[in-house]
Amino acid sequence: MRRRYLAAVAFAVSVGVVAALLTGTAAAANDPGAAKANSRWLATKLKPDGTLENPNGGALPDHGLMLDVLFALYASGDGAKAEPIMKFLDDEGHATDYFTWDGLVPGAGYDKVVVGGSLAKTLVAAEVSGRDPRNVDGYDLVAETHAAIMRKGPDKGRISDYSKDPDLAGAVNNDANSFGQALGVVGLAAAGENDRIAIDRLLAQQCSEGYFRLVFEYIPTKETGDHVTPDGRKVSTCDEGKPLDLSPTDGDATGLALSALLAARKAGATGLDAPIAKTVSWLKANQASGGGWGGGVSTEAPNTNSTGMIVQALADAGGAEAAVDKGVRYLKSAQANAADSGTKLAGELGAIAYNPASYEAARASGISGVDTWIRAGAQASLGLSQVGFYALAKGEAQPPTSGGPAPTTTTITKSVTPPPRPKRAGTPRASTVVRPPATIATPDTATPAARLGAYLANRLTDGDHVEVTEDGRTYVDYDATADVVLALRALDQQPDSVARASQFLVKPEAVQAYAHGAPYEQGDASYAGPLAKLVLVAEFAKADVAGRLRADLVKLRGAGGEFTDTGSFADADETVERHAWAVLATAADPGPAVELLLSRQCADGTFPKHLDTVECGSGDLAATAAAVTALAARPHTDAAPSTRRPDGWSERRVSAFVSAVGALGVRPTGEGVVTGEGGEPDVALSAAVAAARQTAGLDASGTARSLGALVQADGGLAKGSAGETDFPTSLAAAQGVAGRSWLTAADSPLSPAIRLPLTEANPSGAPVLAAEQSGSPPSWLIWGLAGLAVLLLLTVIALVFVLRRFTKKKGATP
């Protein structure tokens, strides 16, 4: 218990939630967990310098797609993963390669040619990432965006492609479209500098039906004035372009324009209520039956790329909850998830396909065209996180998952907490497990093991570790994380969660925190319990670090077999369970540790709770279960467990093992459940006993059925037969629900060396548990009763003999 406390306190990862609800924000269900899963996948596609290869070739990376990824990462709360992107653009001076022509022909003066849409997108990216938008790569992006808005002429109000150098003006075509216009409106709104003519020009791109077109189209006109070109053309409004087929619908442009109008309104612009309402109505009316939306020309069919931007905007606008919910379901139907672990998408958890059909195809044949998946996922993710562009650009946090009240604003704690105080055994510090938004669902028809597996995986923050809160602060609980990994191994569930959590635990910083007390230990320190669990987690995952971890553990083993922690926060509470973990982790060469364990067995076959208990009549069932598992283990082999004395085992070890397993059979009921004093099932103890008995080759299916029946609707278990689900109880229950120990799970680094009942006469005289599987009384008890009967018989005979002698003497007296 002390190690769990130290792991939870000493190695803090402070987490703060900064959440300010936006006016009008919809209450439809976002899915931050799914967004985070996508962000993790997207981040793996970035090169170390933060770039993405341009699929069209050339020396320059795909700057626009890099910024799409940046938006997705920040929206999901994973902005740190996007830092290399802004470092490349800002710190290393490559932003101008994107929003000017300088990257195409460096040093030839083409830095005077500005690409309006790229400039606007860079402005928003700087704001989202917390950079100073007035000094990015040496440019004031706010001022540059204002300058890109034409103040007169046919393109008045349009964020344009233009040249600052008159000599190059003839070489520049103004290809800026509604995307750049909308992003410019967002960026200036977030900077607190709404530019009305840019907003009005964007509104001119809206048709009377409510949608926005993408392209600024010129039409012939007989009008005169500054807005007309020398050859008699002007930029049409959306409605003016319809008769000439110049105003096709475009879901992407409409979604992004809605985000822009919302941003402008939040920044103080007036007269936007009607256009916003018209846009929302059009989008709701044009959602496909499957929940998705299409884009524009050539992308009209529903797709995740378009749907993500539209869901983001509708969630921000409010009043479209049903449409947003359907959109989220559509997005998730195209996302790789834990159920794909046995398909070609294994290892691609979180990736989002362009549409559900592409996702299904990838399950069979793998991802084809990763660039398309990146583009789709970057924008689809916005619909899962549902952070509006204005909030994103203002640096506001991800909104809370629907279904509960918004959290109050909390200051992010960065200070280092005081080092933990030494603690006596049995007095754990009060802490609460953080419950991240559930990302894994199981049908009601799923097995108890599947439901419990999903419950445990859903308790992993960021999908790879458990967090707890204590005294208003949030910490990583490494010990619970390791227990979740082993529990899921026993259940044979959630392999992706197992892999991620295992990788988290074996990272150098996690090892230092969990097993060596960083950052609080001032000198060298090592803890046996954490090292033992890390060895087993690493061996399951086939991680190279396992050997080094085991070597560190062996250094703690003394000549008498005890494992002694070092450091200021060493665990002086040397329990049998802690010792058993260390024996398991050193099963290949346990040295004197096994003999030390055997020497502590109580008279009735159980083991005491504490290793320093030299003599005892009766011990603790949980400690006995741990001891049985440790005694049975050997390094993994495909050979079946022996039903005779295993090679290398002493007679004492066989005897101790058999009597300990027998002792475990006393308390469980006929349903395989251990009950407490009040008759309520002791879930954790039932599971521990069942796992140990299964390791010994005995049947644990009764416990699996009984505990499986206690799995509640959310997949967890209560401490007794009723009440609210409890994470520690649910975690401890896993082996019982599975009906097996993690030691016998797939890919286990260990396997049992012995299986009961034994088929030979026990050479040590210990009873052979032939009747254990039939529910008969344990043989040690039978032998004990027989011995007692013999003792009583001898006592009676002695009394008779004494009485007879006394009677004879009395009769001889005269």
Query: Is the whole model's pTM more than 0.85, yes or no?
Result: no
257-271, 769-783, 794-808 — which is least confidently predicted? 769-783
pLDDT in tens, 541-551: 998 899 999 99
Once rounded to an integer, what is the mean pLDDT over residues 429-442?
A: 69
Question: The tokens of 690 are what?
Answer: 């069942």
How far apart CA 787 and CA 767 sit, in angstroms, is 13
Amino acid at position 310, single letter: I
Most confident of 347-351, 417-421, 518-522, 801-805: 347-351
> Would you say 173 and 161 are in contact if contact means Cβ atoms under 8 Å apart?
yes
- pLDDT for residue 57: 83
- pLDDT for residue 431: 64
In three-state secondary structure terms, 530 is helix
Element (H, E) at 474: strand 473-476
How far apart CA 425 and CA 719 sit, in angstroms, is 21
The sign one gets for the Cα dihedral 539, 545, 548, 552 is negative
- pLDDT for residue 569: 85
Confidence of residue 204 (pLDDT cuts 50, 70, 90): very high
**CA 711 to chain CA centroid, nearest Å:** 22
The residues pairing with 476 across neighbouring beta strands, listed in sequence order, are 467
Once rounded to an integer, what is the mean pLDDT over residues 4-27?
A: 34
Confidence of residue 446 (pLDDT cuts 50, 70, 90): confident
pLDDT in tens, 205-255: 999 999 999 999 999 999 999 999 999 999 999 999 999 999 999 999 999
- pLDDT for residue 134: 96
* Neighbour order of strands in the sheet with 473-476: 432-433, 467-470, 473-476
Once rounded to an integer, what is the mean pLDDT over residues 161-189?
A: 95
- pLDDT for residue 430: 52
Name the nearest CA neighbour of 183 among 122, 96, 252.
122
- pLDDT for residue 347: 85
> Would you say 671 and 702 are in contact if contact means Cβ atoms under 8 Å apart?
yes
- pLDDT for residue 659: 96
- pLDDT for residue 521: 83
- pLDDT for residue 1: 38
Once rounded to an integer, what is the mean pLDDT over residues 741-766?
A: 81
The single residue listed with the structure tokens 């003519």 is 197
pLDDT in tens, 39-90: 999 999 999 999 999 888 888 999 999 999 999 999 999 999 999 999 999 9
pLDDT in tens, 594-648: 999 999 999 999 999 999 998 999 999 999 999 999 999 999 998 899 999 999 9
27-36, 104-113, 347-356, 423-432 — which is least confidently predicted? 423-432
Amino acid at position 618, single letter: S
Confidence of residue 452 (pLDDT cuts 50, 70, 90): very high
How far apart CA 799 and CA 792 sit, in angstroms, is 11
Q: Where is pLDDT greater, at 794 or 8? A: 794
pLDDT in tens, 518-542: 887 878 999 999 999 999 999 999 9
The sign one gets for the Cα dihedral 84, 87, 92, 95 is positive
- pLDDT for residue 278: 97
Does pLDDT of 495 surpass 70?
yes
Strand 432-433 versus strand 233-235 pairing type: unpaired
Does pLDDT of 671 surpass 90?
no
Amino acid at position 105, single letter: V
Residues 6+ apart with CB under 8 A from 22: 266, 316, 388, 390, 391, 396, 399
Q: Where is pLDDT greater, at 599 or 778? A: 599
Q: Where is pLDDT greater, at 782 or 741? A: 741
103-117, 353-367, 465-479 — which is least confidently predicted? 465-479
- pLDDT for residue 402: 35
In three-state secondary structure terms, 663 is helix
- pLDDT for residue 797: 57
Does pLDDT of 770 surpass 70?
no
The values of phi and psi at residue 583, to 5°, are -65, -45
